[in-house]
Amino acid sequence: MKLYSDEILMFDAKAETATATAYNIRDYQHIMLTLSSASSANFTIKFQWSMSDTAPDFSAAQSDTNRWDYIQVKDYEDNASIDGDTWVAFAGTDDVRQLEFNVNWLKWISASITTYAAWDISLRCQAFSNT
């Protein structure tokens, strides 16, 4: 039996730098993302994760008491792996990207729009497990 999460709306037509709320997805094995833009968006985004018992503050600096890191994602368009310390960038051409967190297990996820020059960014997440 598969276990599915409801779709999580992490950013809805966001038009500024921002960090999404921390979402607890510990019960799920696979985390899929849909990143989309409108009106010739120009931005970069990084994805974050943590195994901490309590949600870290993804908008604050990493530390011994605020444990999180950037995470690699896989792009389903060309099966490319995107290093967590780099980013996904849109440069004025709208697109829809289907991504997956490259994980074995994690508890908290988030994303940060690290640079922003124009228009709207939306990010949705869907999680599921095969058990």
Q: Please check whether residue 110 lies inside any domain of the structure.
A: yes
Per-residue confidence of the chain (131 residues) as pLDDT tens digits? 678 888 999 999 988 899 999 999 988 888 999 999 988 888 899 999 999 999 999 999 999 999 999 999 999 999 999 998 888 888 888 899 999 987 778 899 999 998 888 778 999 999 988 77
What are the structure tokens assigned to 18, written together? 């921002």
Q: Please check whether residue 62 lies inside any domain of the structure.
A: no
Q: Please check whether residue 61 lies inside any domain of the structure.
A: no
Q: Please check whether residue 37 lies inside any domain of the structure.
A: yes
Amino acid 97: pLDDT: 93
Q: Residue 33: beta bridge partners? A: 99, 125
Amino acid 70: pLDDT: 96
| CATH number of the domain where residue 31 is located | 2.60.120
Q: What residues contact residue 17 under an 8 Å CB cut-off, 6+ apart?
A: 112, 113, 114, 115, 116
Domains contained in the chain, number: 1
Q: Please check whether residue 25 lies inside any domain of the structure.
A: yes
Q: Please check whether residue 73 lies inside any domain of the structure.
A: yes
d(CA 47, CA 106): 13
Rg (CA), the chain: 14
Q: Please check whether residue 103 lies inside any domain of the structure.
A: yes
Amino acid 1: pLDDT: 63
The sign of the torsion formed by the CA atoms of 26, 32, 37, 41 equals: positive
What's the domain range around 102?
Answer: 3-56+67-129
